[in-house]
Structure formats: structure tokens, C-alpha cells
């Protein structure tokens, strides 16, 4: 059986949806993922991992806009919290580090 390749939409039984680019059955390229409870990620994917530039919004409304490296915040980006706080700067392995 063939694997998804190119553009397409996949809906999981639990209600999650991915609309974007695929390569050999993996999210790869640009796409939009909408999870359960209003979580979402819009951006670049590499082998089904958030990788490159993207925006992740969590169910509580917190948001990160910036660079990702295999599903970890890595590079430059901004965390915006629903309480009004924010952090803009560098991230390494998912954590703020360096200038910010």
C-alpha cells in the first residue's frame, strides 16, 4: 500500500487533523496540525517533527512563534503567555538561553 506523498489532509479517529505536505507517509514541508482541545501548530515539518519556523498555540492560549529543531524550541523566537508576559530571544534544546 502506498504512503502519503504530496499535499493532503489526514483526520485521525480522535479528531486531530493535519492539512499540508507529506513525504513517504510523514508530515514533511509546510502544514497545519490541529490537535485536541485547540492545540495547533502551523509551520514547517521534517519527518513528522516541528522543524524550521512555526507557531504553536497551546490549549490554554500560550503561544510560541519561532524556530524549532525536531520539536524543541531552538534558535530565536517569542513566547507569549495569556497573562501578558512574554520572552523574546534565543532558545537551546527547548529552553531560553543566551540573549533574551
The domain segmentation of the chain, as residue ranges, is 6-96
Q: What pLDDT band is residue 22 in, cutting at 50, 70 and 90?
A: very high
Mean pLDDT, range 55-74, rounded to an integer: 97
- Per-residue confidence (pLDDT) for residue 88, from 0 to 100: 97
The answer to whether the CB of 65 falls within 8 A of the CB of 45 is no
The pLDDT assigned to 1 comes to 56
Of 2.60.120, 3.30.70, 2.20.110, 1.20.140, which CATH number belongs to 6-96?
Answer: 2.20.110
**CA pair distance 89, 29, nearest whole angstrom:** 25
Residue 99 has a pLDDT of: 80
- Does 2 have pLDDT greater than 80? no
Beta bridge partners of 46: 49
Mean pLDDT for 3-21 is 94
pLDDT at 4: 84
96 is written with which cell numbers?
531560553
Amino acid at each position: 500500500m502506498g504512503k502519503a506523498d504530496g499535499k493532503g489532509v489526514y483526520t485521525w479517529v480522535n479528531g486531530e487533523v493535519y492539512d499540508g505536505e507529506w513525504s513517504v507517509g510523514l508530515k514533511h514541508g509546510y502544514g497545519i496540525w490541529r490537535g485536541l482541545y485547540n492545540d495547533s501548530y502551523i509551520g514547517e515539518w521534517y519527518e513528522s517533527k516541528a522543524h524550521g519556523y512555526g507557531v504553536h498555540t497551546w490549549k490554554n492560549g500560550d503561544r510560541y512563534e519561532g524556530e524549532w529543531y525536531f520539536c524543541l524550541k531552538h534558535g530565536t523566537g517569542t513566547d507569549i503567555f495569556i497573562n501578558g508576559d512574554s520572552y523574546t530571544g534565543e532558545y537551546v534544546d527547548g529552553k531560553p538561553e543566551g540573549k533574551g
